[in-house]
């Protein structure tokens, strides 16, 4: 049922036609009537996936101003022991080995620590100049 809901969601996102929207609502109602519990579980899973994508877009947006300023190569190598390509694959949600690459919660924690440390180094250096 999850696949059917995802297809209807995609169809909904790609239309502005009120008749098609009404048809999508009807199809959703039929899926609900077929099995309310499975429908609810599937819809919840779909919502979780949407939230995850939104969080990833927000992360990319949050980093947009600083990535041109700091060395992603340094960040990837020194904090993750990885390549810059690895970092950008996760940031952009690229397909790696047939799956979308994402930062894990632990990797996001590492990223936050790295940015704080880099910020502190910049502040310390700036204070030494004046």
What is the pLDDT at residue 41? 94
Q: How many other CB atoms sit within 10 Å of the CB of residue 77?
A: 15
Rounded (10°) angle between helices 36-63 and 18-34? 130
What is the pLDDT at residue 56? 83
53 CB-near residues (< 8 Å, 6+ apart): 93
Res 116 pLDDT > 90: yes
What is the pLDDT at residue 57? 85
């Amino acid at each position: 049922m999850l696949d059917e809901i995802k297809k209807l969601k995609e169809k909904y996102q790609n239309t502005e036609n009120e008749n098609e929207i009404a048809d999508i609502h009807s199809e959703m109602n039929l899926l609900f009537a077929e099995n309310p519990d499975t429908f609810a579980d599937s819809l919840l899973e779909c919502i979780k996936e949407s939230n995850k994508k939104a969080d990833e877009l927000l992360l990319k947006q949050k980093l947009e101003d600083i990535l041109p300023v700091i060395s992603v190569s340094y960040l990837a190598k020194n904090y993750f022991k990885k390549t810059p390509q690895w970092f950008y694959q996760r940031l952009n949600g690229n397909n790696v080995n047939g799956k979308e690459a994402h930062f894990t919660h632990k990797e996001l924690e590492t990223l936050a620590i790295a940015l704080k440390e880099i910020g502190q180094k910049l502040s310390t250096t700036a204070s030494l100049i004046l």
